[in-house]
Amino acid sequence: MSEASKTTNTNQDQPNQTWFSSWFDTPYYHILYKERNDKEAQLFMDNLTHYLNLPEKARVLDLACGKGRHAIYLNQLGYDVIGADLSENSIAEASKNSNETLHFKVHDMRESFEEKYDAIFNLFTSFGYFENDDDNLATLKAIKNSLSDYGFAVIDFMNVNQVIETLVPEEVKTVDGIDFHLKRYVANGHIFKEIDFEDQGQKFHFTEKVKALTLQDFESMMEEAGIYLLDIFGDYKLKKFHKTESERLILIFK
The pLDDT, as a whole number, for residue 17 is 58
For residue 148, the number of C-alpha atoms closer than 13 Å in the C-beta half-sphere is: 13
pLDDT digit string, tens, across residues 132-182: 899 999 999 999 999 999 999 999 999 999 999 999 999 999 999 999 999
Sorted by sequence, the CB contacts under 8 Å of residue 153 that are 6+ apart come out as: 119, 120, 121, 122, 143, 144, 147, 252, 253, 254
Identity of the amino acid at 252: I
pLDDT over threshold 50, residue 81: yes
Beta bridge partners of 60: 81, 119
107: left (phi over 0), alpha (psi -120 to 50) or beta: beta
Q: Tell me the pTM.
A: 0.89
Task: For the beta carbon of residue 93, count every other beta carbon within 10 angstroms.
Answer: 16
User: What mean pLDDT do residues 29-57 have?
Assistant: 89
CA–CA separation, 228 vs 222, rounded Å?
A: 7
pLDDT digit string, tens, across residues 190-217: 999 999 999 999 999 999 999 999 999 9
The pLDDT, as a whole number, for residue 114 is 96
106: helix, coil or strand?
A: strand
